[in-house]
Amino acid sequence: MTTTIAINGASGRMGKALVQACVENDGTSLAAALVRLNSDVEGLDAGTVAGIAPANVTMTSDRSNLPSDLNVWIDFTLPEGLMNALDYCVANNIPMVIGTTGLNEQQKQAITKAGNTIPIVFAPNMSVGVNLCLSILQTAAKTLGEDYDIEIIEAHHKNKVDAPSGTALRMGEVIAESLGVDLDEKAEYTRHGNIGARKPGAIGFQTIRAGDIVGEHTVTFAGIGERVEIAHRATSRLTFARGAVRAATWLQGQSAGVYNMQDVLGLS
């Protein structure tokens, strides 16, 4: 069974990778490629814009003519664009795969509420490798415990607007949950000047924004006499796009609810 997919923000960096992943996957079909109103690529072929062979799907900002048999909507846009799309998908009963980061609590609650009506896969990182790392981090945190100092270092391209990354925050959440502590109470995001000794149990976050780095995350557990590091480095956005397309095919036929990539990969 072929899964028909609409991609929101199809002209962006991730959007182009999603178009390519969707077209290259044997089990999916690109049904719609959506862009913002008055985009300079509106009316062009989505495949051509993505740098691959023509996909025979035209970039459009008009939702009124979307296919009636649309199975899944994939959205990696900014929070404001996502919220608008969320309302549309709920009203039209379209399942969603959401990879947007930088959401506030109210926006996250809106996604949770939407999950009462439609099935949603919501994850800050769709990479299969990253989600495997999340499972490994659970084991590492439980095994090493609070005797090891924990630092999360993430690096992304210079145009990324939110920090720390959604993936880094999710890593912190997984570690905190495994240790039985509250991340909000243990997280340290900024260090400058005479800060004194490290606080017991702190979970540190360090952010790098430079060049065209796709995405790098390293979690360090530093003990006395040894250091354990769990790292993931992405060299292409296609790794996230292929994971999102995999989530879209899994989502078809699921009941209403909010799922994550651990559910998709059978790791939960």
Q: Is 160 a catalytic residue?
A: yes
- The pLDDT tens digits for 64-99 are 889 888 999 999 999 999 999 999 999 999 999 999
Same fold, 3-122+237-265 and 128-234: no
CB-based burial, 144-180: b 16+ in 10 Å, e otherwise: beeebbbbbbbbbeeebebbbbbbbbbbbbbbbebbe
pTM of the model as a whole: 0.85
- The pLDDT tens digits for 99-115 are 998 899 999 999 999 99
* CATH 3.30.70.1560 for the 3-122+237-265 domain, yes or no: no
Instruction: Write the CB contacts of 261 (distance below 8 Å, at least 6 apart in sequence).
Output: 121, 123, 125, 126, 128, 131, 243, 247, 267
The third-level CATH classification (topology) of the domain covering 128-234 is: Dihydrodipicolinate Reductase; domain 2 (3.30.360)
Instruction: Write the CB contacts of 267 (distance below 8 Å, at least 6 apart in sequence).
Output: 131, 132, 134, 135, 261
For the range 247-251, what are the long-range contacts, defined as Cβ-Cβ under 8 Å and sequence gap of 24 or more?
247/97, 247/121, 247/123, 247/126, 248/3, 248/5, 248/28, 248/71, 248/72, 248/74, 248/97, 248/121, 249/3, 249/25, 249/27, 249/28, 250/121, 251/72, 251/95, 251/97, 251/119, 251/120, 251/121
Q: Of the candidates 97, 73, 6, which has an alpha carbon nearest to the alpha carbon of residue 46?
A: 6
Does pLDDT of 22 surpass 80?
yes
- Which residue in the list 16, 113, 142, 156 is annotated as catalytic? 156
Q: How far is CA 61 from CA 8, 58, 125, 132, in A?
A: 9, 10, 26, 36
Does pLDDT of 241 surpass 90?
yes
- Which residue in the list 16, 158, 160, 199 is annotated as catalytic? 160
Report angle CA 186, 110, 117 to the nearest 5 degrees. Answer: 130
Q: Of the candidates 8, 3, 19, which has an alpha carbon nearest to the alpha carbon of residue 53?
A: 19
Q: Is 142 a catalytic residue?
A: no
User: What is d(CA 22, CA 28) in angstroms, rounded to the nearest whole number?
Assistant: 6
- The pLDDT tens digits for 196-231 are 999 999 999 999 999 999 999 999 999 999 999 999
- Predicted confidence band at 267 (pLDDT cuts at 50, 70, 90)? confident
Instruction: For the chain, give the percent of residues with pLDDT over 90.
Output: 91
- Provide the residue ranges of all domains of the chain, joining segments of one domain with +: 3-122+237-265, 128-234
